[in-house]
Structure 1
Amino acid sequence: MNELEKYRLKNAPPTMYYIPGFFGNEDEKKLVNAIESVPPSKWTVHECYKQEWDVFIIRMDEFPGWRRVARLGRADYCMHNSCGGNRSASRLPEWSMTASFTLNSPGLLDFYYPSKKGFDICNDTDEEERRRRYIGSVWLEPRSLFIFTDVAFDVLWHGMKKEKFDVITDKVFNRPADLPVEARLSVEFATVSEITLTIELVRKDEIRF
């Protein structure tokens, strides 16, 4: 993991790594086309996201730029989030790491302190509870790679809210330098066609760049 240190988000909870421009425009188009070409019958559709179990959209050895991440082996499943509903906050202890690729448009991934009573960002209507547990967000640009593990993955919960716009505030860990830092000057971005492709069960000791 030492090779990832230069990508670690300094203002975020430990063990969050963000790599902008991880792959190019053509690779992004291939991924989007591959996702859109998968028949609906191949997906398990949940309220907040879609999962493709076992049958992969793209063979791992054909994944664009996969030479840059070597010996990852076979992921447990591929999941993609697309706009139109909230994405749930969750803690998945059976996995050690999550790697997410963002396609088409930017988006925000929110992080929360855990709750003993349970907390589902998809269905929870208690805004005060949401605000109380909210830690901050990661700004995900198109064609970026976001990796989080250890405390960020094992302890904190994460999810994406149902919003017509993503609002950049002072709680965004990696807020772009060209955007205003004051919350009252927040900038809104439409996320109509946002896709986040998540590959789980990445072994931490096999990350290579």
Structure 2
Amino acid sequence: MATTQALDLSKYKVKDAPDTAYYIPYFVTNEEGKYLWDQVYGAPKPKWTQLSNRRLQNWGGLPHPKGMVAENLPKWLDVYSRKIAGLGVFDDKVPNHVLVNEYQAGQGIMSNHTTSTTQMPGDGDIKFSLLLEPNSLLILKDSMYTSYLHGITERKEDTVSDQVANLPVISYQDGDKLERTCRISLTIRYVPKTLKIQLKLGKR
């Protein structure tokens, strides 16, 4: 279902964030967004892992310091991984791992890890925030991917402020109050270190 289109990423660079973040609103259509939503909730129940503050699905293998035992992504994820790869953000690589996180209203994630920045302002020593609208794509590279901690504050309502680095390109204004609903987030990435395990089968 994903459409292929040439995008000039420089047009989507978030100028008020450290290097490097790109924010592309409406990267997928409403129809594609519903399709992905249906695929997430159509997945077998064993694919869900329940955490204390949210639940998630892991696709492509389980990352490990010694290497990930890679599994093929299902078609509904592979097509969008290749669409993102077509933007050139992974050089000549195609993403091979996807985390699907479900956040109900009031749920979030602690600010103690890297790989994206989706936290709204108002808690702790926050340098800036990014507000992600439905069907949008956030691309993080360089120090934004490797060095900046991020989190999502656990609350049911957010207030937009001038701390939102991508404020000029979203459909909300400073002071707007946003009531949270269920949110599905797909973290699509390339895991370079993988393991290949061959099973030897034979008769006894």
Give the TM-score normalised by structure 1: 0.67
1:107-165 deviations in whole A, cap 9, x for unaligned? x91289xxxxxxxxxxxxxx8xx42x211111111111001122112111111111111
Q: Which has the higher contact order (CA 8 A, sep 6+)?
A: 1
Instruction: Output one character per residue of 1:55-113: Cα deviation in whole Å (capped at 9) or x when no partner.
Output: 6564444339x446336424233231322422222435xxxx66xxxxxxxxx91289x
**Higher Cα Rg: structure 1 or 2?**
2
How many residues align structurally?
A: 167
Question: Is residue 54 of structure 2 the alignment partner of residue 62 of structure 1?
Answer: no
- Tell me what 2:179 maps to: 190
Aligned counterpart, 2:98: 77
Change (3 A) 1:145 1:78: same
Matched, 1:155 2:164: no
Gaps of 5+ in 2: 1-6, 61-72, 87-91, 193-204
Q: Is the 8 A contact 2:14 2:21 kept in 1?
A: yes
Q: Per-residue CA shift, 1:4-39, capped at 9, x if unaligned?
A: 222110111220110111111110110000111123
Q: Percent identity?
A: 25
Tell whether the 8 Å contact from 2:120 to 2:153 is kept in structure 1 after alignment.
no
Structure 2 equivalent of residue 115 of structure 1? none
Q: Please give the residue correspondences for 1:13-162 in structure 2 after superposition, counting only pairs within 5 Å.
A: 13-54=18-59, 56=73, 58-63=75-80, 66-67=82-83, 69-70=85-86, 72-84=93-105, 85-92=107-114, 109-110=118-119, 130-131=123-124, 133-162=125-154
Superposed CA RMSD in Å reads 3.0
Runs (5+) with no aligned partner, structure 1 = 99-107, 113-126, 204-209
Contact 1:77 1:200 in 2 (8 A): yes
Q: Determine the C-alpha separation between the residues in 2 that align with 1:61 and 1:76.
A: 9
